[in-house]
Amino acid sequence: MADDGLTIALRLALYLDLAASFGVAIFAVHALGRDERGSMIARRYRLFVGASAAIGSGLSLAGMAVLAKTMSGAQSYGELSIHVFEMIITGTPMGLAWSIRLLALMICVLLSASKLNPTSRFVWLAISSGVALATLAWAGHGAMSDGVRGYLQLASHVAHLWAAGAWVGALLAFLMLALGKPDEADGSLEMLSRTANGFARAGTLIVVTLAASGLINYWLIAGPSLEPLFTTLHGRLLLGKLALFGGMLGLAAANRFRLGPSLEASLATGHRALAAANLRRSLYAEATLAVLVLASVAWLGTLAPKLP
Cβ-defined contacts of 5-9 (< 8 Å, 24+): 6/66, 7/63, 7/66, 7/67, 7/70, 7/302, 8/298, 8/299, 8/302, 9/298
Binding footprint of ligand HEM on the chain (CB under 6 A): 15, 136-137, 140-142, 157, 160-161, 164, 167-168, 210-211, 214-215, 217-218, 221, 238, 242, 245, 248, 290, 293-294, 297, 300-301, 305
- Round to whole Å and give the CA distance between 112 and 269: 38
Q: Which amino acid makes up residue 25? A: A
Residue nearest to ligand HEM (CB): 214
- Closer by beta carbon to ligand HEM, 42 or else 136: 136
Name 85's Cβ contacts closer than 8 Å, sequence gap at least 6.
64, 68
Nearer to ligand HEM, 159 or 275 (CB): 159
Q: At closest approach, how far in Å is the CB of 20 from ligand HEM? A: 11
| CB of 257 vs ligand HEM, minimal distance in Å | 19
For the CB of residue 177, give the shortest distance to ligand HEM in the complex, in Å. Answer: 20
Of the two residues 226 and 274, which places its CB atom closer to ligand HEM in the complex?
Answer: 226
Least CB distance from residue 116 to ligand HEM, whole Å?
A: 29
CA gap 113, 106 in Å, rounded: 11
Minimum Å distance from CB 54 to ligand HEM?
Answer: 21
Kindly tell me which of 41 and 298 has the beta carbon lying closer to ligand HEM: 298
